[in-house]
Amino acid sequence: MIPYEKLKKKWLKDPEFKKAYDDLAPEFELIRLMIQKRIDEGITQKELARRAHTKQSAISRFESGRYNPSLAWIQNLAHALDAKVRISIGR
């Protein structure tokens, strides 16, 4: 079995793979930050779902990267976490 980091390093040498990987970075960073905020606040997925008026399964799918939420849904989730989402377009 090949360790993930070794395989990732190999795959990142492929320009097509690297572009796809880099394109997903903001999405995964948002998910990571939302999970960290939920954990820091000591909130379960179920409690967050209650606060955000959604289902726990939607929170689970979002946190696993298997959900493509709207910006409004993300803002609602941020509000439930007492956080804000800011979008910055940099060059």
pLDDT at position 80: 96
Radius of gyration of the CA atoms of the chain, in A:
16
For the chain, percent of residues with pLDDT exceeding 70: 99
pLDDT at position 68: 87
CA distance 35 to 40: 9
Please say if the pLDDT value at position 90 is more than 80.
Answer: no
Residue 20 falls within a domain, yes or no?
no
pLDDT tens digits for 33-89? 999 999 999 999 999 999 999 999 999 999 999 988 999 999 999 999 999 998 887
Across 12-33, b (16+ Cβ under 10 Å) vs e yields eeeeeeeeeeeeeeeeeebbee
Residue 45 falls within a domain, yes or no?
yes
Handedness of CA 53, 56, 60, 66 (dihedral sign): negative
Domain count, the chain: 1
Domain of residue 50 covers 40-85
Residue 49 falls within a domain, yes or no?
yes
pLDDT at position 91: 66
Please say if the pLDDT value at position 6 is more than 80.
Answer: yes
